[in-house]
Amino acid sequence: MRLLEERIKKDGQVYEGNVLKVNSFLNHQIDISLLKAIGEEFYRLFDNEKITKILTVETSGIPFAVAAALFFDVPVVFAKKHQTSNLNTDCYSVNIHSFTHGNDYQARVESAFISAEDNILIIDDFLASGHALKGLLNICEQAGAHVAGCGIVIEKSFQDGGRMIRDAGVRVESLAKIKSMENGEIIFE
């Protein structure tokens, strides 16, 4: 997606450990016209799939899932990372390791919100090591739901996640694919 790549080039900042900061337009402050274009692009890519629900994981995946859902006109479900008193105990849950942050967390979705009747589009902001996506795919499997594919805003294709998920037969569409970020220079595929 040209608009997104140009914005990453202009405002993305490369940090140590191959981390791309996009806080000024995607991950902290959000550029609404870019967000809308991202949602529309996901709709264009998966329009013919009869999506019934969009699944993501809190926190940063939520705006992109919502932007897409406005075009598909379907509900968004986001996996929660914390057990809270208002979360029903009847949940699908999965342990997810965060390679970037070096911690593990439990992602939970109330079983009432995904079922075997669903055709799910999974959306997330970053695809790096693929643990988050694998966890969301596992939740769909527990529910018996079909997964039409995954929509990713930024894939760091020099990490293993994308290859691993595609090799498992899952359709993954990434709007910007970063091949390398060496010496602070962002190169797209």
The verdict on 10 binding ligand G4P (CB under 6 A) reads no
The verdict on 168 binding ligand G4P (CB under 6 A) reads no
The distance of closest approach from Cβ of residue 26 to ligand G4P in the complex, given in angstroms and rounded to an integer, is 8
Residue selected from 161, 174, 175, 177 as contacting ligand G4P according to rule CB under 6 A: 161
Residue selected from 38, 67, 128, 176 as contacting ligand G4P according to rule CB under 6 A: 128
E-strand ranges in 22-145 read 53-57, 76-79, 91-98, 103-110, 119-127
Size of the site for ligand G4P (CB under 6 A): 24
Residue selected from 33, 84, 85, 101 as contacting ligand G4P according to rule CB under 6 A: 101
Residue selected from 125, 145, 148, 151 as contacting ligand G4P according to rule CB under 6 A: 125
